[in-house]
Structure 1
Amino acid sequence: MAKLETLRLLDRDSVNALIQPERILVAVREAFQLHSDGAGQVFPLVREALATGGVFGIKSGGIASQGVLGFKAAGFWPANRAEGGEPHQATIMLVDPATGRPLCVIDGNTVTTLRTGAAGALGLELLARLDSTRLTVFGTGVQASIQVDYALRVLPSLRSVTYLSSDGKPNPTFEARFASRCHIGLGTSANDAVAHSDVVITATPGRQVLFDLDAVQPGTHFNCVGADTRGKREAPEGLLAKARVFVDDRQQAQQVGESQWAPALPVTEIGDVLTGKGEHLRAAHDITLFDMTGLALQDLTVARMLFEQANTQEVGHAVCWPW
């Protein structure tokens, strides 16, 4: 006779009801610290182009001391826009490490957006100049928006945001989101925007280099988000060699991040900065770069938090699950 347990389903609305950006920051910080301490497992990455025009990936891992095991199946399907849908799609599953029984299925779109934004925020807190006042962001989509939102949270000195759109046209919706928090406007030249910024965030699909190396000035910090697949890049040739480079995971960044274009260069994992294993003393003239490819442990620490909250608050849908 099959044993009966409960599988909890957290759809988009359930996730949005539970999400608190500040708690996401705490969970993502924990993920990087676990990775640095060797207390969290990260399994080999799957990231493949599909004949349909999409990209599909699996990020998986576990935290043995917390009884956490799971994966995120996610990718990017650009044709979804024509159907009125979101091109980024993600689903997270938590599994009981003792039995393999599924515990929770979570809509991963909001989780992915926020945990990536929180990772970018930590990169800014740890690596950018604290007196940074001017930010440039490439992109106006969901990820560009959350990166700017978190940047304004953690760098209170930011006063000015310049954005570069894919079509070169103003985006009133994007501007309206931040107009009450900073001066925001469309950039007409990518190189000029970079040259006059303290912080640069690249949050595009990563199909092309976005600016010239000559535009980069001493003291600039870069959060590079868009390169997450073999062949993608946003940064120009030579930037990594000029910068002090930080990554979420060394091997993964060399596979699919900006670091794939300069795999022999030394890098420091961001978790090691948090735990003190990788010392980082920033000089005012240093160029720093955070190569963000997304760590499975980020998804798992956030998913565990949501699962615990959902059980306590009885949020989501409980499904009888024979096993």
Structure 2
Amino acid sequence: MSMQDRPAAADRAAAQLLLIDGSLVDTLLAPDAVAAAVEEAFILHAERRGRVFPVVREALPGGGIFGIKAGDVPDAGLLGFKAAGFWPANRACGGEPHQATIVLVDPATGRPRAIIDGNAVTTLRTGAAGGLGLRRLARPDSRSAVVFGTGVQARIQLRFALDLMPSLAEVAYVSGDGRPDPGFEALFAGRCRIAHTGDRNGAVAVSDLVITATPGPGALFETDAVRPGTHLTCVGADTAGKRELPEGLLARARLVVDDRVQARAIGEMQWAPATSAIELGDILSGKMAFQRAPGDITVFDMTGLALQDLTVGRLVFERARAAGRGVAVPWAW
């Protein structure tokens, strides 16, 4: 921006910041639009038009985790970050432990354009990313799945899987407390046959699709339980020290990640950093061909790209502004 392009004093005095809360975000987002924005983010990353900055991810004294994912797309005027983490004590007051806030910034001036509740964005963009992985990596005739976890991410990953894979008919799930979760079952009862299981290895052994969406406490099943032809969508390992997959599985699999650097630092790949990995964006952009053999085991190790939050956040911002929604706060400078 040249000196003559700088905002005039009157424009600076009239500047506004748009606040977009979670209830409004829910009304502005649809799965198809989110999937398109997430695919755009993967392709921007693959083409190196979008940059992903180093992730901040730190444990908090109270037992939670706080992180910042930031990035930009210079030729699209897109800059911003998501501050997010996990506050387990929120459960005691009936609140959601996962919390996220997205900030969109004007790259020319550094002034914030919008502050967006990032919870719904995170949920949908992660579900959409898992769906893109399924479309490119899983066997299209997959009929059975096992889901580890019954929380927000387990629900959205299974929702996208059922939307994208009409053949998926049998779903087993493993809950965190080892007991059936009627609320989880009720969400999907009309779309598939769903049942709780305590036999983790047995459920994996008969499943075409394995979804792991837990807090990442450790290996959820044994390596030998995974049969040839299985696809695994792995969500829970997003911090140093977390894991869901057993030792030795990545050596048997074709590994796909959203970002190699992040995956080595905080994803499943941290436990086998020398493993060869393909970035999903390279497949989606056509930079790399990917052919699945019937017996391949495929793993999509998802750590979440800042660019996904930015492209979906931009979608929310543009739709809110076009509809005259959100709370505009005077933000003079």
TM range (shorter): over 0.9
Aligned equivalent of 1:79, options 66, 74, 89: 89
For residue 17 of structure 2, give the secondary structure of its aligned residue in structure 1: strand
Deviation of 1:268 after TM superposition, in Å, equals 0.2
Aligned equivalent of 1:185, options 173, 189, 195: 195
Aligned equivalent of 1:148, options 132, 136, 158: 158
Aligned equivalent of 1:300, options 304, 307, 310: 310
Letter in 2 for 1:135: A
CA distance in 1, matches of 2:225, 2:294: 17
Letter in 1 for 2:57: R
Aligned equivalent of 1:206, options 216, 232, 255: 216
TM-score (norm 2): 0.96
Quote the residue 2:74 is aligned against: 64
Deviation of 1:11 after TM superposition, in Å, equals 0.5
For residue 150 of structure 1, give the secondary structure of its aligned residue in structure 2: helix
Deviation of 1:113 after TM superposition, in Å, equals 0.5
Q: Which deviates more, 269-278 or 283-292?
A: 269-278
Quote the residue 1:50 is aligned against: 60
Quote the residue 1:235 is aligned against: 245
Deviation of 1:276 after TM superposition, in Å, equals 1.6
For residue 272 of structure 1, give the secondary structure of its aligned residue in structure 2: helix
For residue 315 of structure 1, give the secondary structure of its aligned residue in structure 2: coil
Deviation of 1:224 after TM superposition, in Å, equals 0.5
Aligned equivalent of 1:128, options 138, 151, 164: 138
CA distance in 2, matches of 1:180, 1:66: 42
Deviation of 1:188 after TM superposition, in Å, equals 2.1
TM-score (norm 1): 0.99
Please give the per-residue CA displacement for 1:82-114, whole angstroms capped at 9, x wherever unaligned.
121101000000000000010000000000011
Aligned equivalent of 1:291, options 294, 301, 304: 301
Unaligned segments of structure 2, at least 5 residues: 1-8
Deviation of 1:80 after TM superposition, in Å, equals 1.1
CA distance in 1, matches of 2:64, 2:214: 15
Unaligned segments of structure 1, at least 5 residues: none
Choose 1 or 2 for highest CA Rg. 2
User: What percentage of residue pairs aligned between the two structures are identical?
Assistant: 62
Deviation of 1:77 after TM superposition, in Å, equals 1.1
For residue 242 of structure 2, give the secondary structure of its aligned residue in structure 1: coil
Aligned equivalent of 1:221, options 212, 231, 236: 231
Note if contact 1:200-1:220 (Cα within 8 Å) is conserved in structure 2. yes
Query: What is the number of equivalent residue pairs in this alignment?
Result: 323
Note if contact 1:269-1:278 (Cα within 8 Å) is conserved in structure 2. no
The reply to whether residue 260 of structure 1 matches residue 270 of structure 2 is yes
Aligned equivalent of 1:173, options 183, 190, 198: 183
Aligned equivalent of 2:327, options 317, 320, 323: 317
Deviation of 1:16 after TM superposition, in Å, equals 1.1
CA distance in 1, matches of 2:75, 2:105: 14
For residue 92 of structure 1, give the secondary structure of its aligned residue in structure 2: strand
Quote the residue 1:37 is aligned against: 47
CA distance in 1, matches of 2:201, 2:325: 47
**CA RMSD for the aligned pairs?**
0.8
Quote the residue 1:92 is aligned against: 102
For residue 277 of structure 1, give the secondary structure of its aligned residue in structure 2: coil
For residue 322 of structure 1, give the secondary structure of its aligned residue in structure 2: coil
For residue 222 of structure 1, give the secondary structure of its aligned residue in structure 2: strand
CA distance in 1, matches of 2:318, 2:176: 40
Deviation of 1:3 after TM superposition, in Å, equals 2.5
The reply to whether residue 18 of structure 1 matches residue 28 of structure 2 is yes
CA distance in 2, matches of 1:207, 1:43: 27
